[in-house]
Chain A
């Protein structure tokens, strides 16, 4: 019963920074994830974002790209 906490959480974090310009929001979220997430959560995020493909929030996709995992 694996839910998708990584992707959901990334969306939750992003929601806090929607007021920022996109680039800044992406940087802020990526930085938050770098600071607080275990590598395997990041891996899970990558996997989930990839499999979600176009269904993934475009900014979350950009965050994933920016993390460069």
Chain B
């Protein structure tokens, strides 16, 4: 029987993957061919979606992008045998994009049926959890600490230290919360993992629960990801059936269960304390820290809050040992990062690599430059609150500290590319507008400051009291950075100031309010 793969990832679905799958089944049936059609996750080469693969003795041969109406031709041309065709990409694993990655978080994404427990185990799933359960919890934490794993949500806090704090805080009830409220513009790695390999997230959370002594986990998932929600929810059910979750995880006696909760569309709920408030059923408002969630978290209990990629990395670390993971990357940025290439880029998608690869290489070599073909003007890394890096400043290694030194931030690894048609004053204004729209409203610098920020930028652009308003904007940015309660207000000046610094010429041309 021939095995054919058609991704069920929502990026693929959005451009007809379901129709492609149906067409393949129809054509095969018409031809009386028995095929095994597997709905896998995405390989991450989104410009090639829907990417159809067929298993051949030489490996999985890819075709893409495949339109539904092209299926009949493709089948006729011998797709099921891996035959040549203009859409034939060759063996997918040997494409440079795939070959050059170090896929740990994405190890199974695109390879397996995301909801098949057999596929999961056959491809190394649960190895990390099994090893963890055979060790004392403190050793699990030590292993994670040794790996150098830092939080992938953006702040880059060492995961092992966070876990140790939770483990050392005595309570009869502790939680592991996965922050899957992936709201940054240009980011989609969490979604791709949850849609493509949800068990790996569950495994990471279970390891975290075991390490810190938690009995319950919550995944806080944004409601804009219905496919991820469906897949993750189904994976939780399956994991319970498999005994991977529940009263006796993998027969170890360890009790752990995971619940899925959907957010209500607020960006601020990606901030960990707001997320906890929301999980408690309250309005998503930022909590002041201290107390930190590791000590006083969900429902006031010690709580691990980690991003999807952080938790997904844990399985690989425990399976292969912390040392091996730490061998990847450089300086204090260890292991791999799942970079997401987006915006005006020719080859968009996810690319997992050890830290250190240069931004320039990611954008121009793997990303292929702008989609429009026009000159690249700037790149924003780390979401809507990240700095704008000018085209001539891209040659920096992807490393938390190196980015900081360059006045930028790595954040969640989202890279958004702009060509030379962008107006940077309007991008600065947009940063403030974004803050107006997404501020939880708790602290004054963010709640009122963002509104005044928009108004002040408008005045600057309109040429009203330009110098005075530039000073005022600078004072406001100081206040937002130093005085905001959380990173929402605190980082909003990043895009504003970087736009002003690198592209001052744009601030005298735009009409107010444009």
Asked if chains A and B are in direct contact (CB within 8 A), the reply is: no
Interface residues of A (CB under 8 A from B): none
Interface residues of B (CB under 8 A from A): none
